[in-house]
Amino acid sequence: MKILQVKLGIGNSKINTKFSGRSLPNEKSKKENDLINKKRVESILAELDNMVGLEMVKDLIKELRAFIEIQRRRQQEGLIKVSTVLHMIFKGNPGTGKSTVARLMGRLLKELNILSQGHLIEVERADLVGEYIGHTAHKAREQLKKAVGGILFIDEAYSLARGGEKDFGREAIDVLVKGMEDYRDNLVIILAGYKDEMDYFLQTNPGLRSRFSVQLEFPDYTVPELLAIAKSMADDRQYVLSQNAIEMLRNFLIREVFFGHRHNGNAHMIRNIIEKAIRRQALRLINKSSLTRQELMIIEKQDLVWLMPMKDNEEQNKLFTRSPICYNNSR
Ligand SMILES: Nc1ncnc2c1ncn2[C@@H]1O[C@H](COP(=O)(O)OP(=O)(O)O)[C@@H](O)[C@H]1O
Ligand SMILES: [Mg+2]
């Protein structure tokens, strides 16, 4: 008798399912979608966590993610949704991770249903400012249209104000401000550039400043951080830096960080070094008849020898005709 009741119970629930229309499969697929979506968000955040340094950026992105999620849940409960302006200012030297973070931010905002596409359109002054009356408005509007659904990232944005009152850069700023209104629900604009230049730019454009509530600073990477970035870039390419190579790189970076120029490129510089070391390693190995997996992976000190100042290094003298400190020119 008991068994029969249980069976009937199951039967009834089946009948109920049928009678409640298609709600259950839909609910199931919604749950599945939510789960997939949550996993995507987690994986983007894990990617962010794997980036070296950038603690303030990581904190802010987590804060934004939590804010957006909680507003969504509040809305479900019929509470008012507090909106926030997501246009941002990224201040920092080249190579400090601004574009990389912006790209990641686009993907995250898409998964959080803030942006429909999440792509990044990266532009600079020349892409927005024209040469004659009317040209600028057209150019700037075209870029805005391309970016709708994603992020319009304007590098060295301070240069839009460089020509004074009559410069067409001002016109571009006006078009951007209008675009921020027109595409309010599906576009994020990020203005990026050197800290001092951006601070001055915002100070002289108070109307703009109030529209960009989120400001993030990207400090130069320290030597240990640059070394960690070098190891991870090598690792991404399935190469390994030997201990001696790391020491050589460390010495070079200490010199660069203390005596180098602020335009030296930070993580861009590391990427250039790793790419060149890979080519140097290839040159070292090319005439060997048999090579182990290990040999194919290791970057040795001699693959980085071109980083040493010439006067310190005789071997270097044979290899190069100009100072290796100008590594960008020698590529
Ligand atoms: N924190 C980081 N960890 C690992 N790689 C990084 C980090 N920051 C930058 N990079 C790498 O350095 C290079 C330059 O970064 P990018 O975002 O283009 O800098 P920016 O836009 O500030 O000039 C890219 O290849 C990027 O992947
Ligand atoms: Mg960049």
Over range 130-149, report the average pLDDT.
90
Q: What residues does 240 pair with on adjacent strands? A: 298
Above 60 in pLDDT, residue 247? yes
Lowest mean pLDDT: which of 31-45, 133-147, 178-192, 235-249?
A: 31-45
**pLDDT tens for each residue of 148-183:** 999 999 999 988 887 766 678 888 888 999 999 899
How far, in Å, from the CA of 25 to the mean position of ligand 2? Answer: 45
**pLDDT tens for each residue of 96-117:** 999 999 999 999 999 988 999 9
Above 80 in pLDDT, residue 315? no
**pLDDT tens for each residue of 282-303:** 999 999 999 999 999 999 999 9
Over range 182-207, report the average pLDDT.
90
Over range 239-246, report the average pLDDT.
98
**pLDDT tens for each residue of 206-227:** 788 888 888 999 999 999 999 9
Q: Which two tokens stand for residue 48?
A: 């962010």
Distance CA 317, CA 146 (A): 50
Per-residue pLDDT at 265: 62
Q: Which atom of ligand 1 is nearest to the CA of 221?
A: 1
Above 60 in pLDDT, residue 245? yes
Distance CA 276, CA 306 (A): 10
- pTM metric for this prediction: 0.81
In terms of Cα–Cα distance, which of 174, 183, 182, 181 is closest to 128?
A: 174
Q: Which two tokens stand for residue 110?
A: 């898409």
Distance CA 34, CA 44 (A): 15
Q: Is 106 exposed, middle or buried (0-12, 13-18, 19+ CB in 10 A)?
A: buried
Taking CA atoms, 112 is separated from 20, 69, 283, in Å, by: 30, 8, 47
Distance CA 106, CA 118 (A): 4
How far, in Å, from the CA of 1 to the mean position of ligand 1? Answer: 70
H-run or E-run covering 126: helix 125-128
Could you list which residues have their CB under 5 Å from ion ligand 2?
Answer: 99
Q: Which atom of ligand 1 is nearest to the CA of 53?
A: 1
Domains of the chain with CATH codes: 51-218 (3.40.50.300), 223-326 (1.10.8.60)
Pocket of ligand 1 (CB under 6 A): 51-54, 92, 94-100, 229, 232, 267-268, 271
Lowest mean pLDDT: which of 16-25, 46-55, 182-191?
A: 16-25
Cβ atoms < 10 Å from Cβ of 184: 11
